[in-house]
Amino acid sequence: MFSMSERSAVTGNVETLFSFLPNFPFELSHKISFVAYYFAPPLFVGFLRQSFPGTLSKKLLRLLWAASLSFAIPTLFLTVEWYSNKNRRVRFKN
């Protein structure tokens, strides 16, 4: 839940972060948004696994973390143009 709340702080109509820090860097806000989006699935599955022990395997959680990290690490080190375009190509590829 924290992941999506920090994402909503930098995107959409909320823009809470920009109201408190008007000179916050644009690229950093997009990186926070993308990384929070990528970490939401493993954090949610981890929450479900803690809430309902024995229902979800640890392998599934590790797979989700590996997938999320494979998207998040390039996002942290590359420019907005690179990872946002690559993300769009992966998402809408026929």
Which amino acid, 17?
L
Residue 59 CA to residue 25 CA, distance in Å, equals 37
Residue 4 or residue 27, greater confidence: 27
Q: Are 3 and 36 spatial neighbours (Cβ–Cβ below 8 Å)? A: yes
Predicted TM-score of the model (pTM)? 0.67
What does the domain layout of the chain look like in residue ranges? 2-91
List of residues 6+ apart from 71 with CB closer than 8 A: 34, 38, 87
Convert the pLDDT of each residue in 14-51 to its tens digit. 456 667 777 878 788 788 888 888 898 999 999 999 99
